[in-house]
Amino acid sequence: MSEHFIITLRVLDRSYRLKIHRRDEKKYRDAAVAIEKKTNQYRNYFAESESKSLLERDYLTMTTIQALSDTAELEANNKLFEDKVKSLIDELDTYLKDSK
């Protein structure tokens, strides 16, 4: 069985065929659902005030900006965590060397 296969994702009334790893299928399908959900939230938020001047790509752009902003925050938090773990490992190594 091939590691890759083609799936079709439907996002904002368009279909996208992607060749992906089988193990990643759920991640891609969940991402498509999340994009739909978030763009609908933006569409509803701007429904009365600016909806006539906004296009589908504007909602998608807002969704992309938010997703990448969230990703950057997670990466920064991950870096802090990694640095703390490295510091604790170094401290533990020093303690173990000194206790011999």
Domain boundaries along the sequence of the chain: 4-75
**Predicted pLDDT of residue 96:** 93
Q: Are the C-beta atoms of 25 and 11 separated by less than 8 Å? A: no
Q: What is the pLDDT of residues 40-91, one digit of tens each?
A: 999 888 887 766 788 888 999 999 999 999 999 999 999 999 999 999 999 9
pLDDT of 51:
63
Confidence of residue 2 (pLDDT cuts 50, 70, 90): confident
What's the pLDDT score for residue 50?
65
Task: Give the Cα separation of 94 and 61 in Å (integer).
Answer: 49
The confidence score (pLDDT) of residue 47 equals: 81
- Smallest Cα–Cα separation from 18: which of 28, 3, 31, 26? 28
Give 1's pLDDT tier (boundaries 50, 70, 90).
low
Q: Which residues of 62-82 are buried (b: 16+ CB within 10 A; e: fewer)?
A: bbeeeeeeeeeeeeeeeeeee
pLDDT at 100: 73
Owner of token pair 């969230």: 70
